[in-house]
Amino acid sequence: ETGVTQTPRHLVMGMTNKKSLKCEQHLGHNAMYWYKQSAKKPLELMFVYNFKEQTENNSVPSRFSPECPNSSHLFLHLHTLQPEDSALYLCASSQGRFGKANEKLFFGSGTQLSVL
């Protein structure tokens, strides 16, 4: 148990559906991340929030919309996805010191998303 919880664990959705992924951490961290993990590809950083402000948007299509209402919660809203968006979506958190790339990332178990 890493202290980062993601729900749901599995999600199947059609291309016209709207769904949301949820991430929650009670580690007292200030930075939260969304990563996309596709088979045989490096983890792709999607979004970074530091102290509830988005500090990174790694050229992610607008059909993915993040929301960070507070330091403990992070959402990823999904709409009109494509089959190629099927992947494991991982949430992570870290202490969130500005400009520090040496922080340990704590990952959730991920949401396995299948887009039909």
Partner 1 sequence: AQSVTQLDSQVPVFEEAPVELRCNYSSSVSVYLFWYVQYPNQGLQLLLKYLSGSTLVESINGFEAEFNKSQTSFHLRKPSVHISDTAEYFCAGGRTKTSYDKVIFGPGTSLSVIP
Footprint of partner 1 (CB under 8 A): 2, 4, 6, 31, 40-43, 45, 48, 50, 55-56, 58, 90, 92, 98-102, 104-105, 107-110
> Cβ distance 74 to 67 under 8 Å?
yes
Q: How far is the CB of 39 from partner 1 (least distance, A)?
A: 10
Dihedral of the alpha carbons of 29, 44, 60, 31, in degrees to the nearest 10: 10
Q: Of 17 and 45, which has the nearer Cβ to partner 1?
A: 45
Least spacing, CB of residue 107 vs partner 1, in Å: 3
Going by the DSSP 8-state scheme, the letter that residue 48 receives in this structure is E
Query: Closest approach of Cβ 13 to partner 1, in Å?
Result: 20
**Residue 96: which of 106, 88, 86 has the closest Cα?**
106
Closest approach of Cβ 15 to partner 1, in Å? 26
Q: Please report, to the nearest 10 degrees, the dihedral formed by the alpha carbons of residues 45, 51, 55, 59 taken in order.
A: 40
- For partner 1, which is the closer residue by CB, 13 or 88? 88
**Cβ proximity to partner 1, 17 vs 109, nearer residue:** 109
Q: Taking the CB of residue 95, how many other CB atoms lie within 10 A of it? A: 13
Nearer to partner 1, 18 or 100 (CB): 100
